[in-house]
Amino acid sequence: MAVKRAAHRPSRKHEIVAATLRLYASIPREAIAVGDIAAESKMTVAALYYHYATKEEILLHGLTAFADDFAEETSAYLKNDPAAVQNVVVHLLDWMRDRHDAAAVWFAYSNGLSTAVEEARRTTNGRVLGDLIKAVKKANPQFPLPHASVVAAALMAQIDVCARAWLVNDEQCSGVAENDFRSAVAGLSARIISTPV
């Protein structure tokens, strides 16, 4: 007699990760329990544990996927043309709009979550900074490498600070129209890139 196999069910990992990021983007992380993630995912705690051992594992999965996408998007955009570096910060803010929860957790709420998240942050920032240095140097071949590196580091800091303000409606930015914010970001990027040697 043949043993009856369980029906194949598609993995619900994507739903679990999306629910986790939604929660971490909207409420303090100390208040989030596995039961909250299960409820947000519309599944039982047992079903959640079938896919992941801990809530930290879920979060790491979501954040490393976002980090890879962020680094790849930055690299692809900068390769398009030498002038792209002037618009990279605004471009990335627009790109983050469709990935709001993951981006908000990455930029605003993930500091100190775990050593694995910090390692992902270091690796990703290194990749993005490397691409920014190349793009700055390509757009401004007269810049010596140390100057191009400082300009790229300033753009990296601008991405971080502007993303945080953009994604979590920073108190200091409340009441600022989206177009005004984008225009101010673009103006700051232009000033950073044109910093004389």
Report the CATH number that the domain containing residue 118 is assigned in CATH. 1.10.357.10
Asked if residue 90 belongs to a domain, the reply is yes
- Count of the separate structural domains present in the chain: 1
Asked if residue 34 belongs to a domain, the reply is no
Nearest Cα residue to 63 out of 127, 107, 26, 11: 107
Asked if residue 177 belongs to a domain, the reply is yes
Full domain range(s) for residue 92: 59-194
Asked if residue 30 belongs to a domain, the reply is no
Asked if residue 13 belongs to a domain, the reply is no
pLDDT by residue, tens only, the chain of 197 residues? 555 545 445 678 999 999 999 999 999 989 999 999 999 999 999 999 999 999 999 999 999 999 999 999 999 999 977 789 999 999 999 999 999 999 999 999 998 889 999 999 999 999 999 999 999 999 999 999 999 999 999 999 999 999 999 898 766 676 788 889 999 999 999 999 998 88
- Name the packing angle between helices 178-193 and 88-97 (round to 10°): 150
Q: Give Cα 194 to chain centroid, integer Å.
A: 26
CA distance 129 to 97: 22
pTM of the model: 0.90
For residue 180, the one-letter residue type is D
Asked if residue 117 belongs to a domain, the reply is yes
CA distance 33 to 37: 7
CA distance 30 to 186: 36
Asked if residue 85 belongs to a domain, the reply is yes
Asked if residue 88 belongs to a domain, the reply is yes
